[in-house]
Amino acid sequence: MIDLTRLQAFLHAAENLNFSEAARHLHLAQPTISHHIKTLETELGVELFIRSGPNLRLTEEGRLLLPWARRLVRQAIQMRQMMDSLQQEIAGHLRIACSTTTGKYILPQFAARFHARHPYVRVSVLNCLPDQVVSCLVEEAANLGVVSYEACEGELECQEFFLDPIVLIAPVGHRWSARQCIEPAELLEAPFIVRESTAGTRRVMLAQLGKHGISLDDMNVILEVGNAEAIVKTVETGHGVSFVSRLAAGWALRQGAVVEVPVAGIDLRRKLFMIRQNIVKPSRAADVFWSFIHDPANMDLLRLAEGVTVPMR
């Protein structure tokens, strides 16, 4: 591999056609410049200069090398400048494992803002099942995770991300759509679509309904669906009612495709958490993102997550 110091010596000697002048520019002794040039000629197997007393002339090989040498030295300088700048910048690949529907709505917006602030960081949002997020962290396939349950055991650290409101939605024209509020007991009358057993939405729904003496066995469950958007579309077509994240139902509520039905005495909100490992090799990008999610500049995203404006019915 060609030594860049020797290339720089060649460049200055070629541009000045004088070893002493090259030595002055590079703050080296003239014999050192002569040694660099001779070593470079030996490495390349050619003569680069015709030496005639104090005068120098480039050989044909020297003229051919000159533009290549300029390019290589320029690129080496640019690379060093870039690496020096990264000492002050955050760089790398940040991977966030996410198991929640609402997290998948909000995280890309946080990631886009984070990248705009730190352009040398590439962010990947990894869609995972709830029980896969911790594994991704342990196996170091992800730097951070977003889950709908607090996971602060062992080597994990967690912080609250945002509150996710869960609402009851019904088809337009449903008998509840004109009601200001329904009683919990009325939920037993309707065909219900529910999330899968591992979903945080379902866990929070059952905990809250349990306070009113209602269990899953009491409800008329007609479908179990593992996707919030699919549930919203099914409700829109008139095939039942469901409790879903307001964020997931936001587009349908704004378009008037479904309606939100308040239930007396029931206020469903689940906490979403960001988690990370304590003992892994630290990642500057992950550390900064950990704080970035609660930057005051991002309060609009957190408000979006915690309450979508619903049009009047």
Measure the CA–CA gap between 214 and 187, rounded to whole angstroms.
9
In one-letter notation, the amino acid at residue 198 is: T
pLDDT at 312: 36
Measure the CA–CA gap between 48 and 33, rounded to whole angstroms.
13
pLDDT at 310: 38
Q: Packing angle between helix 101-117 and helix 246-254, nearest 10 degrees?
A: 90
Residues in the chain: 313
C-alpha separations of 64 from 5, 21, 74, 311 in Å: 19, 22, 17, 72
pLDDT at 313: 38
Write down the residue that tokens 């352009």 correspond to. Answer: 119
pLDDT at 169: 96
Q: Quick one: which of 160, 110, 136 has its CA closest to 280?
A: 136
Measure the CA–CA gap between 77 and 70, rounded to whole angstroms.
11
Is-contact 197 189, C-beta < 8 A? no
Measure the CA–CA gap between 228 and 232, rounded to whole angstroms.
6
Helix (H) or strand (E) holding 66: helix 60-86
Partners of residue 160 on adjacent β-strands = 273
Is-contact 169 249, C-beta < 8 A? yes
pLDDT tens for the chain, 313 residues long, are: 678 888 889 998 898 888 888 888 888 898 998 999 999 999 999 999 998 776 789 999 999 999 988 888 888 876 775 666 556 678 888 999 988 777 778 899 999 999 999 998 999 998 887 778 888 888 888 999 998 877 776 678 899 998 889 999 999 999 998 889 999 999 998 999 999 888 888 988 999 999 999 999 999 999 999 888 999 999 999 999 999 988 889 889 999 999 999 999 988 888 889 999 876 666 788 989 999 999 998 888 888 776 644 333 3
pLDDT at 81: 59
Helix (H) or strand (E) holding 170: strand 156-171
Is-contact 213 185, C-beta < 8 A? no
280 alpha-carbon distance from chain centroid = 19
Is-contact 68 46, C-beta < 8 A? no
Q: Quick one: which of 16, 41, 12 has its CA closest to 26?
A: 12
Q: Which domains does the chain have, with CATH numbers?
A: 4-86 (1.10.10.10), 92-162+270-306 (3.40.190.10), 164-269 (3.40.190.10)
Is-contact 145 136, C-beta < 8 A? yes
User: Which residues lie closer than 8 Å to 297 by C-beta, 6 or more apart?
Assistant: 113
pLDDT at 253: 92
First-to-last CA distance in the chain? 74
282 secondary structure, DSSP code: P
